[in-house]
Structure 1
Amino acid sequence: MGRMATPERLRLVTHSFDQLTAFERRNYRYFSETDAGLPFCLCRVRYLAKNSPLAPHLHEGLYELVFMLRGEQIYQAEGRNYCLHSGQFFLTPPDLVHSTGGNFEDKALYYYLQADLRQLRRCLNGPLAREAELLAQTARRATDGSRRVFPLPKEAERLLEELIGLAGEPGPLDRLRTFQKLLQLLLIVCGAIRQAPSGDGAEGLGGPRAPGSPEHSAMALAMRYVQAHISEEISVEQLARLCSYSPSTFHAKFKQATGLPPHEYILRKKIDSACILLANGRYTVREVARRLSFCSEQYFSAVFKKYMSTTPGAYRRALSGPAEDT
């Protein structure tokens, strides 16, 4: 997702397979607009290990959809965090700055589709004018709203596989089949977007899915408590009592609201704080572990490496220069 910030960069990467790195050759498969003469590109991405965070960027004039088949990823847009899980897709309208919010891209299998819907609508005008108008209406709704994560229909997964299978088949019949499958995929996506409930739409770490509900208020209270007591030991049982739920009910509601289990949410927030403390340069790794109430420096280091793909000592040295870490 998002390896390019402009249509020119898009063409450079998707059309020049020879310029890809060995990692990209193993893990990416591209279908670009030149393959079929259509205003879109499709990429299949398979990460077998953590990859670098996605830096803030935008796509000029292009809609982007990320279809998550396996794994999960946190994306950030307009100051909100969205946790994308298997069986969901993430929508970014044109010219919207987005990133992974400093989070590493983890092991996953997903597709991303980047399309110029205005140009596609011009292709459809005439016998497919109704379909073109539906795409335009849905695009306007998606651009105006803040909802970014939607359920991924099963049929969409099949179409993605069939589309990527047409890559490198530039014959007239293949071009027609590609056009038909692309339109079918986009109409299915439109249906999922139009059926989604209205509202804030923030998923993942941005907050609960139903603002104003008792569950929303309880989960918001739990998240505020975590932030306010980040230097203390925090248990799921504590948070459940705070919200007047049993631990099992709280766990289910918290994961539904935030996209993450409560224990993982706590650890991620502690690592966020650890990054700030380590960047400060005044604290050793041992002191940071103690200030955030990790049971040992070794456990802190293991958790830090899991989420940041580097050790806390290496992270601190990279930001503030060589120093003792114990």
Structure 2
Amino acid sequence: MALLDIRAATLGEEYVAHAHDHHQLILATRGTTELSIEGRGDRITGSRGCLIPCGRHHDYRGDGRNRTFVLDIPATSLPALRDGEAIERLFERPRFFSVPPRLNRLAASLMQQLECCPALHSEIAALLLRALYLHLESQPLSEDTGAALGPGLRERLDLGRLDAWIDHHLADEIRVEQLAALCALSAGHFHACFRELTGMTPLAYVQRRRLDHARTLVTHSGLSLGHIASLVGFRDQGSFSRAYRRCFEVSPSVARRESHTLASFGQEHRSIGQAKAAEST
């Protein structure tokens, strides 16, 4: 990897979870991406970005319409960068930060330059990182906006009602705005309150509920894996299998085979028991 590796991307609607061995800056010029770093989540928009230190597990799902800068920074390259030590301090821990309009306009302009002149990618990456550093050096390190839940909010965040709605729409795209509307909250307020209540982001919660239902279908039905994937909201069997393996540490095909083996063993054991009982009579 180069000292700075920048790309303009459209983050799709597929749920992705991973970690990598480099620092990463995520900065959008338009659209929305739901992103969580080790359980702490926020929405990446034109007014909100994030810093992901190397090795930190994170998951995300875009809206398929965003335009997003993804800047990868190998930790080993920081000493060679201008303000390398200061930039390294920015990545001491995960951080979500506000993006003022002037920085968003700069990012949009640089994205156009990157798309027109990809050969300038190193210079564009350095300029964007420098602008971000100058913006953040005067900002407080912590921008957490923890949501204290009073009794009224706890009542509005009715998990039973949310679960029922999610289960009814597993085959559909489920967005935070829809869940927030059920609770009469703004999307941002709902996101923060939901994380405070459950310890999970709405995105991770919905994904886990999809996979829990999928596990039941994998082990207790004869439906094909592709059909199960569509029933619980995955676009294809491949993305479903990868998510299933990440969650349960076994592929759905292996889980089904093991389930059938156990069922066969149980049936054989019962048959032997019944035969012995018949002999004794």
TM-score by length of 1: 0.50
Looking at structure 2, the residues matched to 85 and 115 of structure 1 have their Cα atoms a distance apart, in angstroms, of 21
Matching of residue 58 in structure 1 with residue 20 in structure 2? yes
**Which stretches in structure 1 are left out of the alignment for 5+ residues?**
1-9, 11-32, 34-38, 125-131, 170-174, 202-208, 235-246, 286-300
Is the Cα–Cα contact under 8 Å of residues 30 and 66 in structure 2 kept in the other structure? yes
Is the Cα–Cα contact under 8 Å of residues 64 and 114 in structure 1 kept in the other structure? yes
Q: 1:220 to 1:144 in 2, by over 3 A?
A: farther
Is the Cα–Cα contact under 8 Å of residues 31 and 63 in structure 2 kept in the other structure? no
Is the Cα–Cα contact under 8 Å of residues 23 and 73 in structure 2 kept in the other structure? yes
**Which stretches in structure 2 are left out of the alignment for 5+ residues?**
167-180, 195-200, 223-228, 245-250, 258-281
Other-structure match for 1:97: 56
Looking at structure 2, the residues matched to 266 and 77 of structure 1 have their Cα atoms a distance apart, in angstroms, of 13
Looking at structure 2, the residues matched to 219 and 149 of structure 1 have their Cα atoms a distance apart, in angstroms, of 29
CA deviation after TM superposition for structure 1 residue 107, in Å:
3.9
SS of the residue 2:91 aligns to: helix
* Equivalent residues in 2 for 1:107-126, closer than 5 Å: 107-116=65-74, 119=77, 121-122=79-80, 124=82
Looking at structure 2, the residues matched to 255 and 65 of structure 1 have their Cα atoms a distance apart, in angstroms, of 21
CA deviation after TM superposition for structure 1 residue 163, in Å:
4.3
Other-structure match for 1:279: 215
Q: 1:269 to 1:139 in 2, by over 3 A?
A: same
Larger RCO (alpha carbons 8 Å, 6+ apart) = 2
Looking at structure 1, the residues matched to 97 and 41 of structure 2 have their Cα atoms a distance apart, in angstroms, of 11
CA deviation after TM superposition for structure 1 residue 114, in Å:
1.4
After superposition, give the CA deviation of every residue in 1:156-207 in whole Å (9 maximum; x if it has no partner): 33234334544236xxxxx9xx54x544322321244345555463xxxxxx
Other-structure match for 1:16: none
Other-structure match for 2:112: 161
Q: 1:273 to 1:310 in 2, by over 3 A?
A: same
Matching of residue 147 in structure 1 with residue 95 in structure 2? yes
Is the Cα–Cα contact under 8 Å of residues 78 and 98 in structure 1 kept in the other structure? yes
After superposition, give the CA deviation of every residue in 1:26-68 in whole Å (9 maximum; x if it has no partner): xxxxxxx4xxxxx111112236x644x4341212xx3211222
Is the Cα–Cα contact under 8 Å of residues 29 and 68 in structure 2 kept in the other structure? yes
Is the Cα–Cα contact under 8 Å of residues 211 and 232 in structure 2 kept in the other structure? no
Which of 231, 235, 258 is the aligned partner of 2:191? 258
- In our comparison, the structure showing a higher alpha carbon Rg is 2
Q: 1:192 to 1:283 in 2, by over 3 A?
A: farther
SS of the residue 1:68 aligns to: strand
CA RMSD of aligned residues (A): 4.6
TM-score by length of 2: 0.56
Other-structure match for 1:76: 36
Looking at structure 2, the residues matched to 92 and 75 of structure 1 have their Cα atoms a distance apart, in angstroms, of 11
Q: 1:44 to 1:277 in 2, by over 3 A?
A: same
Identity of matched residues, %:
10
| Alignment length (residue pairs) | 219
Q: 1:113 to 1:221 in 2, by over 3 A?
A: same
SS of the residue 2:18 aligns to: coil
